[in-house]
Amino acid sequence: DKQTGIKFLGDVFKLPVSTDMIGRILDGAGRPRDGGPAIVADEMADIIGAAINPYSRQSPDTFIQTGISAIDACTSLVRGQKLPIFSASGLPHNDIALQIARQAKLVDSDDDFVVVFCAMGITAEEYNFFVHDLERTGALENACLFVNLADDPAVERLITPRLALTAAEYLAFEKDYHVLVIYTDMTNYCESLRQIGAAREEVPGRRGYPGYMYTDLAMLYERAGLVKGKKGSITQFPILTMPGDDITHPIPDLSGYITEGQIVISRELHQKGIYPPINVLPSLSRLMNAGIGDGKTREDHKSVSDQLYAAYAQGRELRGLVAIVGEDALNERDLQLLKFSDIFEDKFLRQSRDEDRPIQEGTLDLAWNLLSNIDTKYLVRLDQKWIDKYHPTDKKE
C-alpha cells in the first residue's frame, strides 16, 4: 500500500510484564496465543536486558528436584544454574523437557516456583503436544509459555528467548518467584542467527554461523543466577539438538563453554527402549557439589553418586571385553559390575514419563538397593560410615 508509512520510535522492543503472564500462552512477539485477553502490564520491560553484575551475584547452593533419578543423583540441578541438555534428532528431549516442567520443585520449601517455557521453531504438532500435556497435568497453571512456530519469522525467533528471560527477570527479581526457564530448541535459534547473518551478508564463522554467536548465546545464558538482596532466582535449562549427533558442532561446543555442565541424551540407550535415555558418563553438573549434601539432599549423596559413576563406567567397559572373551573369563568382581551396569540402566535410568521420584526415598534409596548387588569390599568410593548407615541388609534389584 503506497499510503503506508513507517515511523521510527527510537526505542527498543519492550514486553508488557505482570503476574498475569502465569498460566498464559504467548507467541514469539509476546502477544496472546491462547485466545485470552492482552496482558495488563505492571510495567514495560526492555527485552535486551543485561547480564547480572558479577559483584552482585550470589553463589548458587540450593538443590532443585526434577524427579528424574539420572539428573537428581548424578548431574544435580542447582537453583541459579544454567544446565543444558545435549540431544539429537529423533530423541525424546521434548518429553524430558515437559517432565521437568511438570515436576521441578525446591525440596522442603514453600517458596513460589514457576516455569517459563520458551519454544523456538517447533512444529504445530509439537506445539499441540506441549499445550495438551501441560493442560492435562495442570502444570500450565504454574507456567508461562512463549511459542515461536517453525513457519513464524526467523527474526521473531531471535526475540522469543529474550521475551522469556524478560518475563523471568520480572517474576524473579520483582515478584520473588523462583523461575525455571526451559528453552527448546536452541539449535533452531542458532540456525535463525545464521540465516539472518547470511541475509545481511556478514562474514561467516565456523560452519557458516556468525562469529558473534558465542557472544549472542552468552547474552542469553548469563541472565541466569541469583542476585544479592533478592529472594527470587532464575535457573536455565536450554535444550539443543546436536546436528549429526556431533558434540563438537559449534552450537553444543560454544554452549558448553558458557554453561555449567551438560546432560547428554544417548541414542544407544534410546534404541534399547530406555526412557529417559540419559548417558550419565559424559554428563556433568559443575555446581552439583554446592547444592547437595547434609541439609540439602542427604549426607551420602556425593559418595553414592561417585560410586554409581565408577561402577557403571567399569561395567560398560566390561561389556566390550565380554564381546571378545566371553563371561567365563571374568572374575567375581567383574561379573558383579557387569550385572550392575545392566540393572542400573533398567532400574535406575528407566522410569515412566509421569514418575516423580523424591531424592531421598526414591532416588538415593534405589541407588543403595542396586549397589547392594556388589559386595561391599568392591564399593571403594563409599565411606564405611555410609555403608553401615544406608546399605540394605538384603540384596534387592
Q: What is the pLDDT of residues 29-52, one digit of tens each?
A: 999 999 889 999 999 999 988 778
> How many helices, marked H, and strands, marked E, lie in the chain?
13, 15
Instruction: Give dist(CA 284, CA 368) in Å, integer.
Output: 21
Task: Kindly state whether residue 1 falls inside one of the protein's structural domains.
Answer: no
- Give the tens place of pLDDT for each residue, 191-229: 999 999 999 999 999 999 999 999 999 999 999 999 999
Could you tell me the residue range of the domain that residue 351 belongs to?
A: 301-390
Q: Indicate the Cα dihedral angle 153, 155, 160, 165, nearest 10°.
A: 180
Judgement on whether residues 133 and 204 belong to the same structural domain of the protein: yes
Would you call 224 helix, strand, or coil by DSSP? coil
Domain-ending residue, one of 291, 322, 342: 291
Calpha distance 140→56 (Å, rounded)? 32
Residues 281 and 133 in one domain: yes
pLDDT at 328: 84
CATH code, 214: 3.40.50.12240
Same domain, 211 and 341: no
On the question of pLDDT at 341 being above 60, the answer is: yes
Taking a C-beta distance cutoff of 8 angstroms, is the pair 236, 224 a contact? Answer: yes
Q: Which of 219, 212, 221 is nearest to 194 (CA)?
A: 212
273, 291, 309 - which closes a domain: 291
95-131 residues labelled b (16+ CB within 10 A) or e (exposed): ebbbbbbbbbbbeeeeebbbbbbbbbbbeeebbeebb
Q: What is the pLDDT of residues 290-299, one digit of tens each?
A: 999 998 999 9
Q: By C-alpha distance, which of 206, 32, 241 is closest to 120?
A: 241
Torsion of CA 168, 172, 176, 178, to 10 degrees: 80
Q: Are residues 348 and 206 located together in one domain of the fold?
A: no
261 and 308: one domain?
A: no
Whether residues 37 and 154 share a domain: the answer is: yes
Q: Are residues 242 and 348 in the same domain?
A: no
296 within a domain of the structure (yes/no): no
User: Which of these three, 221, 256, 291, is where a domain ends?
Assistant: 291
Which among 232, 290, 233 has a CA at the least distance from the CA of 260? 290
Whether 214 is covered by a domain: the verdict is yes
Secondary structure (3-state) at 253: helix
Within a domain: residue 3? no
The answer on 342 and 235 residing in a single domain is no
Lowest mean pLDDT across 110-114, 139-143, 201-205, 332-336: 110-114
Considering the domain boundaries, does residue 395 fall inside one? no
Centre a 10 Å sphere on the Cβ of residue 286 and count the other Cβ atoms it contains.
14
* pTM score of the predicted model: 0.92
